[in-house]
A and B are shown apart, each in its own frame.
Chain A
Amino acid sequence: MDEDTLRALLDGDEDAFRTAYRDIHPRLLRYLTGMVGVDDAHDVAAEAWAHAVRDLRKFRGGVDGFRGWITTIARNRALDLLRSQSRRPLVDVDPADHTGTTPSAETLALEGIGTDEALELIRSLPPEQAEAVLLRSVMALDAKTAGLVLGRRPGAVRTAAYRGLNALQERLAERAGDISGPSDAEGTR
């Protein structure tokens, strides 16, 4: 999605909307999965799109702004949902509760750990760090835009993301350390 596509979208072009949707929606789903869990992510995303489409005329800005805008809408919906369920973002997920979702050392030894496992690992971070990492990586927002979404200064977002990455690094290292030996698993599988 580029600026031309966004302009066309705002002018009512359906192909442009389709392009934008295919670019943003998968990200949004992953971000929302990190926020509210996979069960509610689809519904929240659908509501966010419906809201955004209705308010399209009110939007002004570029591609980054557009991504941030719809992310903000989705986030507010997600927070509303969490509030209504008396849940808290991100922290209700205990990886230990989800059999099979905790990345195994063996999986990690292979190339990548898969999207679900990666998301779970991020969700296991402190909420503030997790959301900063999600917005920066999954939604591909820059620190400034992510700050606007979160209502925080860019510097605070950078700090949270930085701490989150280091925490992730440590967890990856711990898990990898558990299997220091069987590096041949890669070849035999």
Chain B
Amino acid sequence: MNRRTRITRHQAEQLLDAPTGADELSALLRDVAATPSSGEVPGEIEALAAFRASAPAPATGSDSLMSKFVRRAVTAPVATAGALGLALAGGGIAVAASNGAHIPLISGNHAHPTHPAHPTKPAHPTHPAHPAHPATPTATSGAEGTPKPSLVGLCHAWLAHQGTHGKWQSAPAFTALVTAAGGSDNVSSYCTIAVSKPTPSGHPTHPTKPTQAASPTHPAHPVHPTHPPKPSPTAHPTHPVKPTKPAHPTKSPHPVKPTKPSHPAKSGKAAASTD
């Protein structure tokens, strides 16, 4: 234990990379370095439900084209509200916001990379980078009566939590669900119906899959290390809608600056000791 010995810069880097020493400082750094959990982690159900609701669906090639369209529409966060018939006049944002939810997506430039398949017509064929108005006709078609697969997923998460304490009801992941049900008080009854009602795909707990996709990902064995997460082109050669690429295909490790990338962290205390 070299108590009084100052750590060199090199040693500091080594300690931070791999605190393997027997000294107290190494032990402290090991203590704070959380190891990945093998079991369920708090918030996992909600996070997974949100992921399920907005992630690109793994391709299986079994569902109808329509399901794919619906899925795509639902996938876009704003379109989720649109699919519920709440955002058609832009009111969905107000409704969601008044529920106390933080909706950062509204403020940022939301370039959803793709709106590949629009069966009737592309909403904004010439403005692929303006997906703030993705309320296409397809977004609402079939919305009445049958909850979207993503909402059903959220319902399962909600129902799984029932009877437990905590603030999980106000979790951001549930915002769309609460909005859809018309308030948190209604969610339970809404969900009870939703989970018992077959979805268009017939599998309430499994989001509908795109009919086919270029990315040959197998859901169960995702072994495609070199595949960029490129949304797949659609099966419609007659719709050569170009924006199958993200609007801003930056390549840096931090291509996506969250709305406010560099805060002056300690406003009061300037970086006097920077170097």
Say yes or no: is B188 at the interface (Cβ < 8 Å to chain A).
Answer: no
Which bucket holds chain B's interface residue count? 35 or more
Residues from chain B with Cβ under 8 Å of A72 in the complex: 254, 257-258, 261
Q: How far is the CA of A128 from the CA of B269 in the complex (A)?
A: 9
Tell me the count of chain A residues lying within 8 A, CB to CB, of chain B. 101
Say yes or no: is A169 at the interface (Cβ < 8 Å to chain B).
Answer: yes
Are B41 and A25 in contact (CB-based, < 8 A)?
yes
Say yes or no: is B173 at the interface (Cβ < 8 Å to chain A).
Answer: yes
Say yes or no: is B48 at the interface (Cβ < 8 Å to chain A).
Answer: yes
Say yes or no: is B185 at the interface (Cβ < 8 Å to chain A).
Answer: no
**Binary interface encoding of chain A residues 26-56 relative to chain B, with 1 for a CB under 8 A from any of its CBs, else 0:** 1101100000000000110111011101111
Interface of A is mostly: helix
Q: A89-B265, A119-B32 are in contact. Are A16 and B56 (CB under 8 A)?
A: no
Q: Quick one: which of B24, B105, B252 contacts A108, CB cutoff 8 A?
A: B24
Q: How far is the CA of A150 from the CA of B271 in the complex (A)?
A: 12
Are A4 and B225 in contact (CB-based, < 8 A)?
yes
Are B47 and A46 in contact (CB-based, < 8 A)?
yes
Q: Quick one: which of A12, A138, A145, A173 contacts B57, CB cutoff 8 A?
A: A12
Say yes or no: is B235 at the interface (Cβ < 8 Å to chain A).
Answer: no
Are B25 and A169 in contact (CB-based, < 8 A)?
yes
Q: How far is the CA of A47 from the CA of B167 in the complex (A)?
A: 13
- In whole Å, how far is A171's beta carbon from the nearest beta carbon of chain B? 10
Chain B interfacial positions (CB closer than 8 Å to A): 1, 3-4, 6-7, 9, 12-13, 15-17, 19, 24-25, 27-44, 46-48, 50-58, 77, 102, 104-105, 108, 111-114, 167, 171-173, 175, 215, 217, 219, 222-229, 231, 246, 248-263, 265-269, 271, 273-275
Sorted from nearest, which 9 A-B pairs have the closest CB atoms?
A151-B262, A8-B222, A10-B229, A65-B253, A50-B172, A26-B34, A173-B3, A162-B12, A118-B31
12 A-B contacts, Cβ less than 8 Å apart?
A15-B222, A53-B55, A56-B54, A60-B246, A60-B256, A76-B260, A113-B24, A138-B32, A138-B34, A140-B33, A151-B263, A151-B265
Chain A interfacial positions (CB closer than 8 Å to B): 1, 3-5, 7-19, 21-23, 25-27, 29-30, 42-43, 45-47, 49-51, 53-62, 64-65, 68-69, 72-73, 75-76, 79, 88-91, 108, 111-115, 117-119, 121-122, 126-128, 131, 133-134, 136-138, 140, 142-145, 148, 150-152, 155-156, 158-163, 165-166, 168-169, 172-173, 176-177
